Amino acid sequence: MKAIIQRVTSAKVTVGEDLISSIGKGLCVLVGISNEDNANDVDWLAKKLLNIRLFEDPAGKRWSQSVLDQKLEILCISQFTLYNRMKGNKPDFSKAMQGTEAQSLYSSLLQKLAAQYELGKIKDGKFGALMQVHIQNDGPVTIEIESPPQSQQELDKLKRANEHKAKSKKGCEAVREGEGQ
């Protein structure tokens, strides 16, 4: 997963004339999801977003506090165009994860952030919509981060865990169906 993190004094997302979300001081984060991303990338990015030190402490020491330290808000916006490559003068987005799979990972990022912080402090745009993002960049400060590539061993472990979850879910559904008879 890739994120463009902007320290802001305010930010909002609109779709047409409708206000979708807004925050005061905090972070506005553009989130890109690649075809290779999974739950490990979500965990990594959530931890980084909550702990990255982009703010001054009360004594004025720069780069010493995070959104957690200052109890600030985070506005996340899905941004498939972060995973582009140029083919001549035309962008190609084939590295970006598509559709429901991308939406699922993006939603899990929002849930992870809310679970590790405060639900009311995590805002987002509207997945898949043509949005207008309005920010007041503070500094300006803009940082790009990307989750590290994973080893085959980590990918195999995640695959086994997902298969186990799927089997458990099927077993629970079968039990529920049996109870209903």
**H helix runs in the chain, sequence order:** 39-51, 67-70, 99-116, 152-179
9 catalytic residue (yes or no): no
Same domain, 97 and 127: yes
Same domain, 66 and 129: yes
Same domain, 90 and 163: no
Same domain, 144 and 84: yes
Q: What is the pLDDT of residue 115?
A: 97
Q: What is the pLDDT of residue 102?
A: 97
Q: Tens digit of pLDDT for each residue in 89-125?
A: 999 999 999 999 999 999 999 999 999 999 999 999 9
Q: For all residues of the chain together, what is the average pLDDT?
A: 91
Buried b (16+ CB within 10 A) or exposed e, 23-58: bebbbbbbbbbbeebbebbbebbbebbbebebbeee
Look at residue 167 and tell me whether its pLDDT is greater than 70: yes
Total domains in the fold of the chain: 2
Q: Which domain holds residue 133?
A: 2-148
Average pLDDT over residues 67-76: 98
Q: Tens digit of pLDDT for each residue in 89-98?
A: 999 999 999 9
List the CATH number of the domain containing 74: 3.50.80.10
Same domain, 155 and 114: no
Average pLDDT over residues 147-153: 80
- Give pTM, 2 decimals: 0.83
Q: Where residue 171 falls among pLDDT bands split at 50, 70, 90? A: low
Same domain, 100 and 171: no
What is the C-alpha R_g of the chain? Answer: 19
80 catalytic residue (yes or no): yes
Q: Tens digit of pLDDT for each residue in 38-48?
A: 999 999 999 99
79 catalytic residue (yes or no): yes
The active-site residue out of 6, 70, 81, 132 is 81
Same domain, 78 and 20: yes
The active-site residue out of 14, 70, 80, 116 is 80
Same domain, 139 and 68: yes
Same domain, 88 and 50: yes
Same domain, 81 and 159: no
Lowest-confidence region among 1-10, 15-24, 116-125, 157-166: 157-166
Same domain, 115 and 177: no
Same domain, 66 and 127: yes
